[in-house]
């Protein structure tokens, strides 16, 4: 085992200003068993949350490979890293089809990763488990089914009032694609993992009304963009969402379910 983060001052802590990635990363770390000298594959690594933290925890005897499909994100992470933490590498790779020559790892982590596994989510998890060493641990986080349900109901209500049948069907499909805790537990069970643990930690997201809601960095950066994609007419989408934004009190509190799935390869 390694020394706890709060027992010493970190140069690469989880950033306190990131109100989305950091809370999910914190829940990931609650379930991750870190050991000195381990090798870690961190998928959907973005700009390095929690890859930098993990690398500092392991120290130079460990190895961390952080991968992301976005070249821009990889370049940004490398720029942040500079010449520090040389046992941490950032590479542009697709986690849904890892190359056969890639070695196996003691731990595979993925913060806010499962939403990118579509369309073949089980097969993606299966591929990850195949790249675990025997006795290795997989820990992934994601917003699970139930995240922002009050918001989706309010948007659906506004669509219904306007008779937007096609848009309502698209919204229904979008909401149903979010996996549940029970579903992801079934994936790990189907792959014969041991010590399976799936937990949800509610996270309340605060927002104002109007433009404060529509431009909220946690919402517009992903969730609300997906709602806009339910509309062919973006002018109509703006009209509907403006109406919803004026009625934020009707769907407060906005709750995201931070889900963590953990399993060990036999």
Task: Give the residue among 16, 15, 28 at the shortest CA–CA distance from 259.
Answer: 28
| Residue 23 included in any domain | yes
Residues 167 and 84 reside in one and the same domain: no
Residues 248 and 202: their CA atoms lie apart, in Å, by: 19
Residues 132 and 222 reside in one and the same domain: no
Count of domains observed in the chain? 2
Residues 195 and 166 reside in one and the same domain: no
Residues 90 and 165 reside in one and the same domain: no
Residues 155 and 175: their CA atoms lie apart, in Å, by: 12
Task: Give the residue among 19, 50, 46, 14 at the shortest CA–CA distance from 203.
Answer: 19
Local confidence band at 165 (pLDDT 50, 70, 90 cut-offs): very high
Residues 222 and 184 reside in one and the same domain: no
Instruction: Please enumerate, as own/partner, the contacts of 5-8 that have beta carbons within 8 Å and a separation of 24 or more.
Output: 5/53, 5/57
Task: Give the residue among 82, 100, 101, 78 at the shortest CA–CA distance from 90.
Answer: 78
| Residue 252 included in any domain | no
- List 92's β-bridge partners, or say none: 68
| Residue 251 included in any domain | no
Residues 33 and 116 reside in one and the same domain: yes
| Residue 88 included in any domain | yes
Residues 170 and 184 reside in one and the same domain: no
Residues 169 and 188 reside in one and the same domain: no
Residue 8 scores a pLDDT above 80:
no
Rg (CA), the chain: 20
| Residue 253 included in any domain | no
| Residue 163 included in any domain | yes
CATH code, domain with 195: 3.40.50.150
In this prediction, residue 154 carries a pLDDT of 98
Residues 65 and 112 reside in one and the same domain: yes
Residues 24 and 153 reside in one and the same domain: no
- What confidence tens digit (pLDDT) does each residue in 146-164 have? 999 999 999 999 999 999 9
Residues 196 and 224 reside in one and the same domain: no
Which 8-state DSSP code applies to residue 110?
E
In this prediction, residue 183 carries a pLDDT of 96
In this prediction, residue 1 carries a pLDDT of 58
Residues 121 and 224 reside in one and the same domain: no
Residue 7 scores a pLDDT above 80:
no
In this prediction, residue 178 carries a pLDDT of 87
Domain residue limits at 155: 149-174+210-246
| Residue 197 included in any domain | yes
Local confidence band at 6 (pLDDT 50, 70, 90 cut-offs): very low
| Residue 70 included in any domain | yes
Residue 5 scores a pLDDT above 60:
no
């Amino acid at each position: 085992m390694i020394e706890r983060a709060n027992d010493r001052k970190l140069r690469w802590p989880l950033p306190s200003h990131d109100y989305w990635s950091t809370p999910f990363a914190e829940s990931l770390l609650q379930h991750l068993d870190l050991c000195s000298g381990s090798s870690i594959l961190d998928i959907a690594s973005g700009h390095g949350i929690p890859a930098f933290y993990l690398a500092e925890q392991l120290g130079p005897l460990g190895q961390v490979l952080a991968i992301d499909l976005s070249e821009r994100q990889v370049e940004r992470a490398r720029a942040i890293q500079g010449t520090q933490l040389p046992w941490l590498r950032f590479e542009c790779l697709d986690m849904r089809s890892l190359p056969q020559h890639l070695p196996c790892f003691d731990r595979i982590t993925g913060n806010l990763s499962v939403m990118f596994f579509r369309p073949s989510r089980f097969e993606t998890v299966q591929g990850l488990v195949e790249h675990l060493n025997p006795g290795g641990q997989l820990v992934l986080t994601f917003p699970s089914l139930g995240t922002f349900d009050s918001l989706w109901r309010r948007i659906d209500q506004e669509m219904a009032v306007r008779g937007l049948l096609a848009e309502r069907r698209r919204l229904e499909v979008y909401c149903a694609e979010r996996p549940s805790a029970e579903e992801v537990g079934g994936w790990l069970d189907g792959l014969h993992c041991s010590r399976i643990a799936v937990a949800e930690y509610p996270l309340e997201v605060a927002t104002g009304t109007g433009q404060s809601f529509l431009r909220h960095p946690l919402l517009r950066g992903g969730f609300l963009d997906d709602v806009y994609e339910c509309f062919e007419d973006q002018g109509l989408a703006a009209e509907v969402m403006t109406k919803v934004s004026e009625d934020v009190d009707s769907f407060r509190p906005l709750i995201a379910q931070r889900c963590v799935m953990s399993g060990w390869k036999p």
